[in-house]
Amino acid sequence: MGFPCEEDTPFALVFDVSGTQLRVQKVETVVNPPHTILGFAVTDIANTIAELGDKGVQFEFYEFMEQDQSGIWTTPDGTAIVWCKDPDGNLVSFTQYDAAGDPG
């Protein structure tokens, strides 16, 4: 996703995410859960999709959800969510909250 890697040790990778440290533990075997493991709140989901799509990220589509052509599912309260898989196959989400549902 383009975050600068600040540290690469035998045990973890450490990234700078806009001034916040993100530590990713290294493991010998990755077991992919069937649910989202990491989510990001974004202010412009369409722009996020465009930027990540330009980098080759493919978004997930699910038959049991009504998603638009970009893969966005809009919840009843107006929150927009899209999912993709990281290089290890884990699900990552990007969420744009409706102004009324903004957690911040």
Residue 39 maps to which CATH number? 3.10.180.10
Residue 42 falls inside a structural domain: yes
Whether the predicted model's global pTM rises above the 0.85 cut: no
Domain presence at residue 8? no
Residue 23 lies in a domain: no
- Type of residue numbered 69: Q
Short-list 84, 104, 98, CA closest to 38 = 84
Place of tokens 């045990």: 11
What whole-number distance in Å separates Cα of residue 94 and Cα of residue 8? 26
Instruction: Round the CA-based radius of gyration of the chain to a whole number and report it.
Output: 15
Domains of the chain: total: 1
What does the pLDDT look like over 38-97, one tens digit per residue? 999 999 999 999 999 999 999 999 999 999 999 999 999 999 999 999 988 899 999 999
- Boundaries of domain holding 47: 35-101
